[in-house]
Amino acid sequence: MPQAALLLLLIVASVKCAPGGVVPREASALQGRIVNGILAAPGEFPHQVSLQRKPSKSHMCGASVLNQHWALTAAHCVQVEDTFEVLAGTNSLGEGGTRHTVTAIETHVAYDPNDVWVNDITVVRVSPAFPIDGVKVAPIQLPEQGEEVPDGANVTVIGWGNFWYNGLSPIELRKVDVQVTSQEECEAVWNDYGRPIYPTQICAARFDDKTYGPCHGDSGGPLLYEGKIVGIASWGYACGEPPYPSVYTRVSSYVDWIIEKTNASVVY
């Protein structure tokens, strides 16, 4: 299989590539829109925000509100020399919401983009504070440290990523349901490709009549199970093409770290 098949789910300006460059269709961090998803309802995911470049206001990645001052996203989303802002409180990239400048970035010290983006997690501080009202903007719920998600569980991924590999991008937030892949199965599939899967990563996929899952621009967004963020979209193969499950940072491995870095209250 060509090495050009791995793809980071991150849109950098108008070029769909990840920091350091991504060969088309190579395993890399996620860039793009939800594949074969549907529109999210207004206010359905008030924790979802768009991480954007300043001053172009171009969408790069998804992120999740933790509290008034902090949001959670993928480390690879901020590994470019740039300034960032966050759009909150709207499903549309074209209208509504509030804008917040990123004033601080705390990336996990063990993040390694050269080793399957292990520890792909970052928290960003914003100013002004998010206008949390529980309707348009609300904190996302965290799992407990070490909490497990059952194999085969239905989970939801959301974002403004591409509709298909190298495809168009949406203006409106979209969602799609996928299923958690067992760690053993995910490891076996990706090991055949020459990529390890770590315990701090969780995999999900849906292979039936179509391909479903995250794509370019969905990086940093949440994988949701029973209202909790259990994963952060990190990397995959050509936007969910079988037999390769998409790979997410396992949030329950980092809850203590998130609390330490944000030094503020979060939702459990």
Catalytic residues: 76, 120, 219
Return the closest-CA partner of residue 246 out of 170, 113, 156, 131.
Answer: 156
- Encode 128-162: b = buried (16+ Cβ within 10 Å), e = exposed: eebebeeebbbbbebbeeebebeeeeebbbbbbbb
> Is the N-terminal amide bond of 55 cis, ω within 30° of 0?
yes
Reduced to 3 states (helix: H, G, I; strand: E, B; else coil), residue 262 is: helix
**And the tokens for 144?**
């407990």
Return the closest-CA partner of residue 49 out of 76, 10, 88, 78.
Answer: 88
Q: Any idea what DSSP says for residue 26?
A: B
Sequence-distant (≥ 6) Cβ neighbours of residue 175 within 8 angstroms: 34, 37, 38, 39, 40, 44, 45, 156, 157, 158
Q: Cα dihedral sign for 103, 137, 73, 143? A: positive
**And the tokens for 21?**
């460059």
Sequence-distant (≥ 6) Cβ neighbours of residue 112 within 8 angstroms: 118, 119
